[in-house]
Structure 1
């Protein structure tokens, strides 16, 4: 599972979180930003090229579809509604990231079901100091979701860059083939479509309910 119970609560991390949260976007603000970038044929980040712009266009379509169609089981809804403590979910992302496009709508939908969860978005490349505190296997992999207990202002869990089931698929393919091919990446997107956010939601709930 990609949920990690964490004690990364040094003074440095606290200050980085405070600075990042001060400039964080809501999910709707992020969606508007991405939509505007599509019109301009651009992406987030300092690097601008046709490939990243194309990924941003595709991801905007994915997020738009998921925003409209995502539905959760009664069990997931009951669990998310039962959360009593106030928390902030802070996700680091970029518009060109395919995993982020498939999972951020799930984060937003879950957060919308409980007023105790405040979902915020920041861009990775503009917050590399914070990102470097939450690497995945030593890499800047995104999305990276940081779960913060509002009462204590401490990080209690982190998640990313993809649901545990998808991670297993990726790891198995890498072990067999050495690297991820374009064909596999397409197959992974098909997996996301068929999964309909279920494994992402289950992972996020597991992290949220950690004590």
Structure 2
């Protein structure tokens, strides 16, 4: 790993590319418009993906209304000095994204302008996605990349899911669970956890640069 200072690091993406990214409101609007056409994001369309996208819209809507930030989150947000972009690589059909993106955005909105979120679709930006492969092989999403707002250089990154959920997923896959089986178990974990693990891991992220 390079030991060069962050100021000398290359930008993760150009300002023009960042400007093309969605705000959270625009990302949600895109999903709604595509669902109205019987579609979801990405080049691949199927009844299964459309089914997941509909469920995910409901999950995001519920979380938008119910996320309550933990005290430790607001404490770390109060310590922020600089300005950062939280760049999220996502897709509308992704169940983990539906569980995590509203939490990410809620934290950014509570930051007093120190954090702003932008969203890019995984399959429209494969070169960027391939910089953040899970285990060096998987294009798992969502991925949160923390950038300095002035230089667009990387501070840190996180994803595609909290560590406990990731461990559960890997255990179920090792046991030969089907996609439907492990999706049900993982979403049950999210429901029981009530965003706590996600928020606590993002607190750890904040402490890296607050």
TM-score (norm 1): 0.88
2:170 aligned counterpart, secondary structure = helix
CA distance in 2 between counterparts of 1:187 and 1:70 reads 21
Q: Deviations over 1:142-182 (max 9, x none)?
A: 1011111224431011111101111121223334x045542
1:171 is matched with: 170
SS at match of 2:75: helix
8 Å CA contact 1:21, 1:120 repeated in 2? yes
Per-residue deviation, 1:15: 6.0
For these two proteins, the number of residue pairs brought into alignment is 204
Q: 1:103, 1:200 within 8 Å by CA — same for their partners in 2?
A: yes
Tell me what 1:95 maps to: 92
Superposition map of 1:86-125 within 5 A = 86-114=83-111, 115-125=113-123
CA distance in structure 2 between the partners assigned to 1:81 and 1:179 by the alignment = 43
Superposed, which structure 2 residues align to 1:177-196 within 5 Å? 177-196=175-194
Determine if contact 2:11/2:151 at 8 Å carries over to the other structure: no
Matched, 1:28 2:25: yes
8 Å CA contact retained: 2:144, 2:157: yes
**Alignment of 1:38 onto 2:55:** no
- Pick one of 74, 84, 90 that aligns with 2:71: 74
Contact 2:134 2:140 in 1 (8 A): yes
The change in CA–CA distance for 1:62 and 1:36 in structure 2 (over 3 A counts) is same
**Equivalent residue of 2:147, what SS?**
strand
Q: CA offsets per residue over residues 43-82 of structure 1, 9 Å max, x none?
A: 0001111111111111000000000011122222222232
Shift of 1:22: 2.2
Specify which structure has the bigger relative contact order, considering alpha-carbon pairs within 8 angstroms and separated by 6 or more residues: 1
Q: Decide whether the 8 Å contact of 1:13 with 1:130 is kept in 2.
A: no
| CA distance in 1 between partners of 2:116 and 2:150 (Å) | 13
Structure 1, unaligned runs of 5 or more: 1-5
SS at match of 2:208: coil
SS at 1:120 equivalent: strand
Compute the displacement of 1:87 (Å): 0.7
CA shift at 1:21, angstroms? Answer: 0.8
RMSD: 2.3
**Separation in structure 2 between the aligned mates of residue 13 and residue 39 of structure 1, nearest angstrom:** 40
Distance in 2 of aligned mates of 1:196 and 1:121:
23
With over 3 angstroms needed to count, the CA separation of the structure-2 counterparts of 1:13 and 1:171, relative to structure 1, is farther
